[in-house]
């Protein structure tokens, strides 16, 4: 099959594909949660067009892995444990894993499940904010983190406001609007060996004590980062469970079964009219070699292969299509290293 050639004159640049806005405030978050997840139309439905196929396979579906299901179970238990606890007795969770392993997706799924549960349990709670999301900013200071939290909560901030003032406003709004779950992503950036990192870590701890909510922190290999080192790190480590989101393996029979099941679910979500069922599972070893079982790389591989098949009109993913996809540097380097160690693969 010939490679897909993309040039400036290709009309798919004008198909009106829209990139969703990042979810940086509670209005966008609650709109995301409110969007119903309905199964896509059958592959033979006549309403599928080139544009809708491209849109669908760009967005695709969120598939639950075992680590995501375990995280959801641990969150439920932690919320129950915290239900009547005061102050520093409340427990938290840390979601940790290598880049691309699905940590942020796990947070989104945990937050969505919890918010939908709260809406069912407490109907008619207008103006509530059960979930708050934040990411540690690259230039982190306690004030900058407070500004990120304030932005999500819809609190107007001006330059003359101090860290103390912003933090008080954030805590007030979280209490008033019934926030029970707080996610803070990219915590691996916090280097507690530096003054800004130590101060920001202290602010996270203070928020955990001031707001009666369950905190879920996430980052890249957090257990190996400076966040959990020293006296400050010991305090966080003493109150948080560590949940790993590792890549999926393909060695033992049980691992192969899980890997094949995930590929089967992805294949079931494809809407390609001439795709042969079972192709992804048939090439499971090749796909694992290329992606290392990392969810972000796997998603890119399947989605881009599907989009290539739409552009070239074949409407089917083949091993040749999969081989043409240029993956991220991490996956590419890992695959090369594996091939050097096991040339027969």
What's CA 294's distance to the chain center, in Å? 13
Considering the domain architecture, whether residues 239 and 251 belong to the same structural domain is answered as no
The better pLDDT of the pair 172, 333 is held by 172
Kind of pairing, strands 92-97 and 240-244? Answer: parallel
Q: Write the CA distances from 316 to 45, 94, 319, 327, integer angstroms.
A: 16, 40, 10, 19
Based on the structure, what is the number of domains in the chain? 2
Per residue in 165-208, pLDDT tens? 999 999 999 999 999 999 999 999 998 888 888 899 989 988 99
The torsion of the CA quartet 145, 85, 229, 101, rounded to 10 degrees, works out to: -70
pLDDT beyond 50 at 7 = no
CA distance 69 to 283: 26
- Give pLDDT tens digits for 120-170: 988 877 789 999 999 999 888 999 999 999 999 999 999 889 999 999 999
Residues 6+ apart with CB under 8 A from 183: 107, 110, 111, 131, 132, 133, 134, 215, 216, 217, 218
**Domain C-terminal end among 221, 244, 267:** 244
Query: Are residues 192 and 252 located together in one domain of the fold?
Result: no
290/267 same-domain check: yes
- Residue 261: both structure tokens together: 């099941």
Tokens of 331: 């996956």
pLDDT greater than 50 at residue 264 = yes
Question: 214 and 263 share a domain?
Answer: no
Which residue range is the domain that position 286 belongs to?
A: 247-339
Structural domain ending residue among the three candidates 219, 244, 269: 244
One domain for residues 305 and 167: no
Which has the closest alpha carbon to 183: 323, 320, 23, 36?
Answer: 23
* Residue 85 CB-half CA count within 13 A: 20
Would you say residue 103 has pLDDT above 60?
yes
Is residue 222 located within the same domain as residue 146? Answer: yes
Q: Is residue 55 one of the residues assigned to a domain?
A: no
State how far the Cα of 203 lies from the Cα of 188, in Å rounded to an integer. Answer: 15
CB 318 within 8 A of CB 1: yes
Rounded mean pLDDT, 63-74: 92
pLDDT at 185: 95
Q: How far apart are the first and last CA of the chain?
A: 23
Position 23 pLDDT exceeds 60: yes
146 and 218 both lie in a single domain = yes
**CB burial class (10 A; 0-12, 13-18, 19+) of residue 218?**
buried
Q: How confident is the model at residue 343 (pLDDT cuts 50, 70, 90)?
A: low
Query: Are 161 and 251 within one domain?
Result: no
Task: Judge if 240 and 294 occupy the same domain.
Answer: no
For residues 126 and 254, state if they share a domain.
no
Q: What is the CATH number of the domain that holds 165?
A: 3.40.50.300
Share of residues in the chain with pLDDT > 90 (%): 68
pLDDT exceeds 60 at position 243: yes
pLDDT at 5: 52
Domain edge (last residue) among 244, 272, 288: 244
pLDDT of residue 4: 55
Beta bridge partners of 181: 131, 214
pLDDT at residue 2, as a whole number: 47
Asked if residue 273 is part of any domain, the answer here is yes
């Amino acid at each position: 099959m010939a490679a897909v050639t993309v040039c400036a004159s290709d009309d798919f640049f004008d198909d009106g594909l829209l990139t969703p806005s990042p979810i940086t405030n509670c209005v966008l978050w609650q709109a995301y949660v409110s969007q119903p997840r309905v199964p896509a139309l059958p592959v033979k439905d006549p309403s599928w067009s080139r544009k809708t196929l491209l849109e669908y396979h760009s967005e695709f579906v969120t598939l639950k892995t075992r680590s995501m299901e375990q995280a959801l179970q641990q969150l439920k238990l932690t919320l129950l444990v915290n239900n009547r606890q005061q102050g520093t007795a409340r427990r938290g969770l840390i979601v940790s894993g290598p880049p691309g392993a699905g940590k942020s997706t796990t947070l989104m799924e945990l937050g969505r499940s919890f918010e939908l549960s709260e809406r069912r349990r407490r109907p008619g709670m207008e103006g509530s904010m059960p979930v708050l999301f934040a990411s540690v900013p690259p230039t982190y200071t306690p004030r900058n983190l407070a500004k990120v939290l304030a932005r999500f909560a819809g609190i107007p901030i001006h330059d003359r406001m101090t860290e103390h003032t912003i933090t008080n406003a954030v805590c007030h709004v979280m209490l008033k609007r019934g926030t029970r779950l707080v996610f803070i992503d990219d915590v691996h950036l916090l280097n507690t060996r530096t003054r800004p990192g130590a101060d920001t870590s202290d602010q996270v701890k203070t928020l955990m004590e001031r707001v009666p909510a369950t905190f879920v922190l996430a980052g890249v290999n957090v257990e190996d980062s400076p966040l959990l080192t020293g006296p400050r790190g010991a305090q966080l480590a003493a109150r948080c469970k560590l949940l790993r989101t590792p890549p999926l393996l393909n060695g033992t029979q049980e691992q192969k079964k899980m890997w094949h099941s995930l590929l089967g679910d992805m294949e079931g979500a494809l809407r390609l009219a001439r795709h042969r069922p079972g192709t992804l599972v048939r090439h499971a070893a090749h796909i694992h070699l290329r992606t290392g079982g990392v969810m972000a790389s796997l998603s890119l591989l399947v989605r881009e292969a599907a989009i290539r098949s739409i552009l070239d009109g074949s409407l089917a993913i083949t091993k040749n299509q999969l081989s043409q996809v240029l993956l991220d540097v991490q996956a590419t380097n890992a695959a090369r290293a594996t091939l050097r160690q096991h040339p027969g693969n």
